[in-house]
């Protein structure tokens, strides 16, 4: 792991009673979360629930309005966040690269956390070998020499995960990594994540999504957000349930799990019952 690691022991991340207020509006309210090595969190919620806002805090990109966030033992607001970011692998699906770097070169930019290659920094033989190992883990060996500009969205996603892992971070943050992928690309991405987590048991991750089908089977914990507030938080089997997910999305949803993966369907029976109850209540009020 990274040699200048500021907190080799203890939780990787600890947020306590955090509020984020922007323009007088609560984007997050009273959020607490502790992430230990080896845990793989899913953050779920409807559009606008505050998932990306939370990921911004965890990635030391923004600060809480109230409450405390400790990333690798360091409190946000009291340390140079650029230093902390070097220990976090943040995968931004809107990576702004325009030039035709090869997949291997893109992965190597993870060493300097830059968009383009830094011509002054030649990678060492060990770093090149590490890049190739990550490319293999992410299933991109045959595309290692391909230019970024020619990659499909799924290939770009996997290249960016390898790039984020280049500095050997302890925490990997993934913002909707499967958005826009076709079925095969999504399944390849999720298998790569499962494999990665198996190979690096100390790595922790946070994956944001609004689709339960996009959760890798290696997910261990979940946090459900509704309008900036926590609806449930804990071990995935206790949180990703019909009851809590329905409350999170404010819609009757039935959750099923098969082969370690989750599926969500609108619960028509409950929807009909809910609509009938609402109609009866409206009649009663009238
Ligand atoms: N800087 C800001 N100032 C004011 N409001 C903001 C700001 N950033 C985000 N918001 C609002 O905060 C809410 C939460 O945004 P956020 O992007 O965290 O949601 P999300 O759960 O990631 O949504 P989605 O699933 O659509 O990506 C949204 O209503 C958004 O418009």
For the beta carbon of residue 147, count every other beta carbon within 10 angstroms. 14
Residue at token pair 């033992």: 73
User: Is ligand 1 within 6 A of the CB of residue 51?
Assistant: yes
User: Is ligand 1 within 6 A of the CB of residue 27?
Assistant: yes
Q: Are 26 and 19 in contact (CB under 8 A)?
A: yes
For the beta carbon of residue 284, count every other beta carbon within 10 angstroms. 7
State how far the Cα of 246 lies from the Cα of 227, in Å rounded to an integer: 14
Q: State how far Cα 41 lies from the chain centre.
A: 8
Question: In terms of Cα–Cα distance, which of 3, 10, 165 is closest to 89?
Answer: 165
User: Is ligand 1 within 6 A of the CB of residue 53?
Assistant: yes
Q: Are 276 and 284 in contact (CB under 8 A)?
A: no
Helices 125-137 & 183-199 angle (0-180, nearest 10): 130
Question: In terms of Cα–Cα distance, which of 208, 209, 159 is closest to 185?
Answer: 159
CA distances 248 to 32, 224, 278, Å, are: 17, 6, 19
What's the DSSP call for residue 102?
Answer: B
Q: Is 99 helix (H, G, I), strand (E, B) or coil?
A: coil
The answer to ipTM > 0.90 is yes
Domains along the sequence of the chain with CATH: 1-87+169-235 (3.40.50.300), 101-168 (no CATH)
Question: In terms of Cα–Cα distance, which of 113, 194, 183 is closest to 154?
Answer: 183
Residue whose CA is closest, atom 28 of ligand 1? 48
Q: Closest ligand 1 atom to the C-alpha of 210?
A: 25
Q: Are 178 and 190 in contact (CB under 8 A)?
A: yes
User: Is ligand 1 within 6 A of the CB of residue 145?
Assistant: no
Give the per-residue pLDDT at 194.
94
State how far the Cα of 237 lies from the Cα of 260, in Å rounded to an integer: 10
Rg (CA), the chain: 20
Q: Closest ligand 1 atom to the C-alpha of 45?
A: 21
Residue whose CA is closest, atom 23 of ligand 1? 48
Q: Are 137 and 192 in contact (CB under 8 A)?
A: yes
| DSSP state letters, 44-67 | EE-TTSSHHHHHHHHTTSS--SEE
Among 18, 42, 50, which is best to mutate for testing ligand 1, by the most ligand atoms less than 8 A from CB?
50
Backbone angles phi, psi at 191, to 5 degrees: -65, -40
pLDDT tens string, the chain, 286 residues long: the values are 444 555 567 899 999 999 999 999 999 999 999 999 999 999 999 999 999 999 999 988 888 999 999 988 888 878 777 777 778 898 887 888 888 999 999 999 999 888 998 888 899 999 999 999 999 988 899 999 999 999 998 899 999 999 999 988 999 999 998 888 889 889 988 998 999 999 999 999 999 998 999 999 999 999 999 999 999 999 999 999 999 999 999 999 999 999 999 999 988 766 555 555 445 444 444 4
Residue whose CA is closest, atom 12 of ligand 1? 27
Question: In terms of Cα–Cα distance, which of 54, 60, 130, 131 is closest to 89?
Answer: 60
């Amino acid at each position: 792991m990274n040699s200048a690691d500021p907190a080799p022991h203890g939780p990787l991340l600890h947020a306590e009673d955090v509020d984020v207020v922007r323009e007088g509006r609560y984007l997050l309210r009273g959020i607490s979360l502790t992430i230990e090595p080896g845990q793989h969190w899913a953050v779920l919620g409807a559009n606008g629930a505050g998932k990306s806002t939370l990921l911004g805090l965890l990635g030391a990109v923004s600060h809480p309005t109230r409450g405390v966030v400790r990333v690798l033992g360091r409190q946000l607001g009291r340390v140079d966040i650029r230093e902390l970011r070097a220990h976090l692998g943040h995968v931004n699906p809107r990576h702004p690269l325009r030039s035709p770097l090869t997949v291997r070169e893109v992965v190597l930019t993870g060493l300097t956390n830059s968009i383009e290659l830094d011509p002054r920094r030649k990678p060492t033989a060990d770093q090149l070998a590490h890049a190739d190992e990550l490319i293999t883990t992410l299933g991109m060996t045959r595309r290692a020499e391909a230019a970024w500009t020619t990659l499909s969205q799924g290939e770009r996603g996997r290249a960016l995960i390898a790039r984020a892992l280049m500095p050997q971070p302890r925490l990997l943050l993934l913002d909707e990594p499967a958005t826009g992928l076709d079925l095969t690309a999504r399944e390849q991405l999720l298998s790569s994540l499962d494999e990665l987590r198996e190979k690096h048991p100390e790595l922790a991750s946070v994956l944001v999504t609004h689709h339960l089908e996009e959760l890798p089977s290696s997910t261990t914990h979940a946090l459900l957000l509704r309008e900036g507030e926590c609806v449930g938080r804990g071990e995935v089997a206790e949180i990703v349930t019909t009851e809590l997910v329905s409350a999170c999305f404010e819609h009757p949803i039935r959750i099923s799990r098969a082969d370690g993966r989750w599926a969500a369907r609108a619960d028509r029976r409950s929807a009909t019952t809910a609509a009938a109850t609402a109609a009866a209540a409206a009649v009663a009020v009238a």
